[in-house]
Structure 1
Amino acid sequence: MAKPLTKTQLVAAIAEEMGADKKTAAAALEALTTVITREVAAGGAVTLPGVGKIYCRERPERMVRNPATGEQIKKPADKVVKMTIAKALKDSVNG
């Protein structure tokens, strides 16, 4: 498995793809991150065409086990961020 891109490498790749400088690419990435974070935190969802859909899902209260002691404890309800991958991306990886 290849190593994931670092933020610096991602900004450089975006700048090259856009034909812009790294400062503009970094601002675009930061803006995208801000919009996604704000929308998902508010309970909405964001669809990135060709990539997937990012959304927040609520998990109910449930019983979990402490692996160190084996003790059963009740975990309160919480929210978790999920992502569904777009079919186009799956097909390009598998095809």
Structure 2
Amino acid sequence: MAGKAGAKKTKTKADLIDSVASSAGLKKKDAKAAVDAFLTKVEEALKGGSKVQLTGFGTFEVRSRKARTGVKPGTTTKIKIPASKYPAFKPGKALKETVKK
């Protein structure tokens, strides 16, 4: 949507709910319930160690970072950074092609 005259560069959750309601012919409260349910289910799947793969759109997954040694900013003090997990999204081929246009 970037590049279109008058298009917002950042879409909020409220914007998404409005778009879903309009596109699907739903009431706003029903669209909000659907969006919230989708987000909750993605969170639950990731928390449980599963991936969420939406063919053509992309895959939500949890990735791991190894423990490592870093340097405290502004000093030369070395610190231990513990291993961690973080959510990630890998776009699917169809989404990549859509964005390129």
Q: Same fold (TM over 0.5)?
A: yes
Q: Which runs of 5+ in 2 are unaligned?
A: 3-7
The secondary structure found in structure 2 opposite 1:80 is strand
Q: Which runs of 5+ in 1 are unaligned?
A: none
| Corresponding residue to 1:60 among 40, 58, 66 | 66
| Corresponding residue to 2:23 among 17, 20, 27 | 17
The answer to whether 1:34 aligns with 2:68 is no
> TM-score normalised to the size of structure 1?
0.90
Paired AA for residue 41 in structure 2: V
| Corresponding residue to 1:51 among 50, 57, 60 | 57
Q: CA deviation at 1:71?
A: 2.2
**RMSD, matched Cα:** 1.4
Q: CA deviation at 1:48?
A: 2.3
The answer to whether 1:90 aligns with 2:96 is yes
Matching residue of 1:81? 87
Matching residue of 2:5? none
Worse-matched range after superposition: 83-92 or 69-78: 69-78
The secondary structure found in structure 1 opposite 2:49 is coil
**Where does structure 1 differ by over 4 angstroms across 4 or more consecutive aligned residues?**
none
**Taking every aligned residue pair, what percent have the same amino acid on both sides?**
35
